[in-house]
Amino acid sequence: MKKSALSFYIFVVMLNLSCAQETENKVITPEKVPFIAELFVDDLLIPWGFTFLPDSSILITEKSGELIHFKDGKKSIIGNVPEVYQRGQGGLLDVVAHPNYADNGWVYFSFSSAEGIEKGGNTSIFRAKITAKALTEIQVLYKAGPNTTKGQHFGSRIAFDNDGYLYFSVGDRGARDDNPQDITRDGGKIYRLMDDGSIPKDNPFVDQDNAKAAIYSYGHRNPQGLIKHPETGEIWNHEHGPRGGDEINVVKKAANYGWPLVTFGINYSGTPITDETSMEGMETPIHYWVPSIAPSGMAYVTSDKYDNWKGSLLVGSLAFQYLERLEMDGKKVISREKLLDGKGRVRDVREGPDGLIYVAIEGKGIYKLVPTK
């Protein structure tokens, strides 16, 4: 195919994909919002993740490797954090308190680790307790391999389900042709462990030769959103597409999410990856974005403190620097709103124990959305 014909083909495909969804779900900027954005934790560089503790204090990861405890308006540094592999998108990444933290004190982390015989790094999951402003009882639960010096697609979100299983994501590490579709290799997967790191006996591939027994689903690209749906108990994820094709998926046992065999995106160069957007035996996303918003962080609103927000999904946009609210009807997106437009790269979003929404923005800090009603 000649270059001009190829360019026209790509344009038509992407236009059709965009129109098919954007006509139905075009993102709008509301004339009035039901909150005032109040800077709650200031002076943060890249607050990659944060979690609330039972006393309403906050643990915050800085991508650089710092772990911050914010309590009563003051920040303190938690020491003894494992050394992170600093390259590209790698660093100290997600943090989640155990659902029974008040009883057991465990906190779970993801980070890019150089542990291993190969040069470079890969995603690692560990848990620890906090004593006297330092991490103690550090236990590595999973280390993806092999290491690579590539700096992209560490994934790294963490979530617990209603049964106490630990889920986490590892991106394809920039090796889309090798990792996502191969269950004998790490990368491009969502994993499930017991909270102590052991492998659940009913994981889908535990009895398959050479398979990574921790894998729960595969065919992912770079999932940077992972939550438990508070009403259904399902695990939902979102992941970065290439140029177009960010997705929201419901994570199912043994399911294949298609990357890179099916996608709504194209290469960054503008060339096609595939002409397939669906394929038998592969899951279709419940929502996709064209163009990409580069999603990071996700929260399901259970609070009734904001007008008409209950039941919505909140997703941060790194590319366009806003917070998106997706109004849901079950698994269908029925409308989209652009919030905090231009405030900065939204890295994470959580609903706090007080029912308020908290948003981590790079170069700023964590904002509290204070209702105006």
Under the banding of pLDDT at 50, 70 and 90, the label for residue 244 is very high
CB-based contacts of 18, cutoff 8 Å, min separation 6 = 244, 290, 291
153 is annotated as an active-site residue? yes
Q: What is the pLDDT of residues 299-327, one digit of tens each?
A: 999 999 999 999 999 999 999 999 999 99
Which tokens sit at 10? Answer: 């790509």
Listed ranges 4-18, 24-38, 252-266; the one with the highest mean pLDDT: 252-266
pLDDT grade for 25, boundaries at 50, 70 and 90? low
Checking if the pLDDT of 86 tops 50, the result is: yes
Q: Which of 7-21, 100-114, 150-164, 172-186 has the lowest mean pLDDT?
A: 7-21
The angle formed by the CA atoms of residues 238, 230 and 189, to the nearest 5 degrees, is: 30
State the average pLDDT over residues 49-56.
98
Burial of 347 (0-12, 13-18, 19+ CB in 10 A): buried
Residue range 216-240, pLDDT digits in tens? 999 999 999 999 999 999 999 999 9
Confidence of residue 373 (pLDDT cuts 50, 70, 90): confident
- Is the pLDDT at 20 greater than 50? The verdict is no
Which of the two residues, 145 and 2, has the higher pLDDT score? Answer: 145
What structural domains does the chain harbor? 3-371 (2.120.10.30)
Q: Is 125 left (phi over 0), alpha (psi -120 to 50) or beta?
A: beta
Share of the chain above pLDDT 70, in %: 93
Of the listed 153, 220, 240, 287, which one is catalytic?
153
Interval 341-371: pLDDT, tens: 999 999 999 999 999 999 999 999 999 999 9
Amino acid at 347: R
Evaluate if residue 70 carries a pLDDT over 90: yes
Confidence of residue 9 (pLDDT cuts 50, 70, 90): very low
Higher pLDDT, 324 or 5: 324
